Amino acid sequence: MADGSAGGGVSPYVHRIRVRYGEVDMQQVVFNSHYMAYCDDAVEMWLRHLGLRVLDHGWDFMLKKAVMEWDGAASVHETIEISVGLARSGTTSFDVSFHGRVGDRPVFRCTITYVGVRPGTRETMPPPSAVLERLRAAPAPA
């Protein structure tokens, strides 16, 4: 597992999702709401890739805002490759960028703003320095 430290050899993270039959609509493309679930799965696995278990740091985060734009479509049995990386970090919030494609074909782009919270509450709090350091050291999405 990657150590997530600066210069620690962490490669850009790419999450792969194989589209299942039940995820496509009558037009035979992935139904739009599934892309948010794909991003949710991708951010969790990206954090694991960085060696982060946020609750171990007494911190959690919640989605505040999502902006998604589609460049194409994916269909059943295709594999969507989602590049994930930190786009911005603030005092209590941070943006994660997602770039999804099937092969060389762009499919979607998404930026999600997350807000740090105390675990089990909605009380905002900044990320612990160890978490912020690992997020900032991660390579940008490819």
Are 107 and 32 in contact, with CB atoms under 8 Å apart? no
Output the CA–CA distances (angstroms, integers) from residue 53 to 13, 37, 48, in the order listed.
Answer: 16, 20, 7
Instruction: List for the chain the helix, strand, coil content (%; round to 5).
Output: 25, 40, 40
For 71-120, the pLDDT digits (tens) are 999 999 999 999 999 999 999 999 999 999 999 999 999 999 999 999 99
Looking at the DSSP assignment, which residues form a beta bridge with residue 15?
82
pTM recorded for the entire structure: 0.90
pLDDT at 5: 37
For 34-57, the pLDDT digits (tens) are 999 999 999 999 999 999 999 999
List the Cα angle 112/114/115 in 5-degree steps. Answer: 160
The CATH superfamily holding the domain 13-137 is Hotdog Thioesterase (3.10.129.10)
Are 114 and 127 in contact, with CB atoms under 8 Å apart? no
pLDDT band at 61 (very low <50, low <70, confident <90, very high): very high
DSSP for 93-114 reads EEEEEEEEEETTEEEEEEEEEE
For 7-30, the pLDDT digits (tens) are 445 678 999 999 999 999 999 999
Are 107 and 72 in contact, with CB atoms under 8 Å apart? yes
Average pLDDT, integer, range 129-141: 91
pLDDT at 4: 36
Can you give the residue ranges of every domain in the chain? 13-137
